Amino acid sequence: MTDLTKSGAAVGEPARTGAAPETFLEVRDLKVHFPTDDGLVKSVDGLSFQLEKGKTLGIVGESGSGKSVTSLAIMGLHRLGNRGKNVRMSGEIWLDGKELVAASPDEVRRLRGRDMAMIFQDPLSAMHPYYTVGNQIVEAYRVHNDVDKKTARKRAVELLDRVGIPEPDKRVDSYPHEFSGGMRQRAMIAMALVNNPELLIADEPTTALDVTVQAQILDLIRDLQKEFGSAVIIITHDLGVVAEIADDILVMYGGRCVERGPVDKIFYEPSHPYTWGLLGSMPRIDRAQTERLIPVKGQPPSLINVPSGCAFNPRCPYADVPKGGITRTERPELREVGSRHFTACHLSQEDRSRIWTEEIAPKL
């Protein structure tokens, strides 16, 4: 945690230069829109962030906030079906000096699985039921490495062993259904890591698992990150998980980033009313007090008719606080409110810190 603050100087708001950035992964003004019969679904609408090697970024938000769409966009998986006719993407995604949004599908395919890999939420549907676990890992390895089957199989066994599957030389020939949920997730991590990717995206990696297994998997991801030095994006709705594993947190709402900053800032000095809402609506296992939870009122917005101005304004308890002439329909941009800490809210700094210290913090 300590080295985090030191490296902070390198990160700031990106300039729209179009030039390769210095950070390992940089996403600039990413937009992913899906035209549908009912209208344009703006799943991601202007998202920017950076991530350095060896660091973990946690993306949190409710379902439909665009977190998974972001990860699929980085992996270039939106353009696979229907030759990308049903998705409109713009912005830039820079991975290690290469731009991915405008890159050809072939270029992205060469990177996918080798430089960037993904762990999906539901390992049973992410793995092919017809092939053995070993076969699937071998395939992922041989696509990117010119090796014979025997070497690849050895590599598969080695990785299954590394992720903690007992008797890997036997289990390599098992089918996914023969594995338990936790083992399947381990096998999928093995598959993702087979080419030593530099970027690992984990989309709700532990949501389908029990807490005891979740603890094992989070530990494993953390250890592997230390070992391979890769950058990790972890997408989750569980604030406990990000508190455990992330260096930085990005809070998404309605397809946009509402707050981004180091993990300590987000938990101890959150500055966006939505983040307050998330913290207040979470029951705490580490606190004996059982006063009422403070839920966020209302429903998440429709991504077709995103509320004008701040997408959160219909649910925001502080939408009516006067903000020096700024109207509700004006869209707040991300502003720096502290070192490496950004928030998209019209509330003035004074109002914000007053509300946080007087109204929110005592109730958490």
Partner 1 sequence: MSETETRAGTPAVTNDDEKPLLRVEGLVKHFPIKKGLLQRQVGAVKAVDGIDFEVRRGETLGVVGESGCGKSTMGRLITRLLEPSGGKIEFDGTDITHLNTGGMRPLRRDVQMIFQDPYGSLNPRHTIGTIVSAPFRLQGVEPEGGVKKEVQRLLELVGLSPEHFNRYPHEFSGGQRQRIGIARALALKPRMVVADEPVSALDVSIQAQVVNLMDDLQDELGLTYVIIAHDLSVVRHVSDRIAVMYLGKIVELADRNALYEAPMHPYTKALLSAVPIPDPKRRTAKSERILLKGDVPSPIAPPSGCRFHTRCWKATEICRTTEPPLIELRPGQRVACHHPENFADQAPQDTVLLTAAKEAAELVSEEVLAEAAATSEEAVEEATSEASSEETSSEGSASSDKPSSGESTDK
Closest approach of partner 1 to the CB of residue 333, in Å: 24
28 or 272: CB nearest partner 1:
272
122 or 139: whose CB is closer to partner 1? 122
Site for partner 1 in 210-249 (CB under 8 A): 210-216, 218-219, 237-241, 243-244
Which class for 227: exposed (0-12), middle (13-18), buried (19 or more C-beta within 10 A)? exposed
Which CB, 30 or 278, lies closer to partner 1?
278
Per-residue string for binding with partner 1, 164-193, x by CB under 8 A? --x-------------xxxx----------
- Residue 245's nearest CA partner among 260, 229, 234, 259 is 234
Is 48 in contact with 258 (CB distance < 8 Å)? no
Choosing from 37, 38, 106, 286, the residue that interacts with partner 1 (CB under 8 A) is: 286
Choosing from 62, 99, 122, 351, the residue that interacts with partner 1 (CB under 8 A) is: 62
Q: Which of 77, 124, 143, 294 binds partner 1 (CB under 8 A)?
A: 294
**Nearest 5°: phi and psi at 160?**
-60, -40
Min. distance of Cβ 269 from partner 1 in angstroms? 12
Would you call 11 helix, strand, or coil by DSSP? coil
Is the distance from CB of 251 to CB of 278 less than 8 angstroms?
A: yes
Both structure tokens of 355: 């509300």
DSSP states of 257-320 as a string? EEEEEEHHHHHHS--SHHHHHHHHTS--TT--------PPPS-PPPSSSPPSSSTTTTT-TTTT
* Cβ closest to partner 1, residue 159 vs residue 279: 279
Shortest distance, position 360 Cβ to partner 1, whole Å: 14
Rank residues 182 and 332 by Cβ distance to partner 1 and give the closer one: 182
Give residue 74's region: left, alpha or beta (phi > 0; psi -120 to 50): alpha
Give the position of tokens 């990160």. Answer: 11
Q: Which of 278, 316, 344, 345 touches partner 1 by CB under 8 A?
A: 278
- The yes or no reply on residue 299 touching partner 1 (CB under 8 A) is yes
Q: Minimum distance from CB of 245 to partner 1 (Å)?
A: 8
Instruction: Please report whether residue 362 would count as binding partner 1 according to CB under 8 A.
Output: no
In the complex with partner 1, the residue whose CB is nearer, 149 or 297, is: 297
Name the pairing type of β-strands 199-203 and 231-236: parallel
Nearest distance in Å: CB 71, partner 1: 18
Residues in contact with partner 1, total (CB under 8 A)?
49
Comparison of 91 and 262: residue with beta carbon closer to partner 1: 262
Segments in the chain forming alpha helices (H): 2-6, 67-75, 105-111, 123-126, 133-144, 149-162, 168-171, 181-193, 211-228, 239-245, 263-268, 273-280, 349-354
Of the residues 285, 320, 358, 362, which one makes contact with partner 1 according to CB under 8 A? 285
Name the β-bridge partners of 68: none
304 in contact with partner 1 (CB under 8 A):
no
What secondary structure letter does DSSP report for 192?
H
Query: Residue 14 or 181: which CB sits closer to partner 1?
Result: 181
Which residues form the interface with partner 1 (CB under 8 A)? 1, 62-63, 166, 180-183, 210-216, 218-219, 237-241, 243-244, 263-264, 267-268, 277-286, 288, 290-297, 299-300
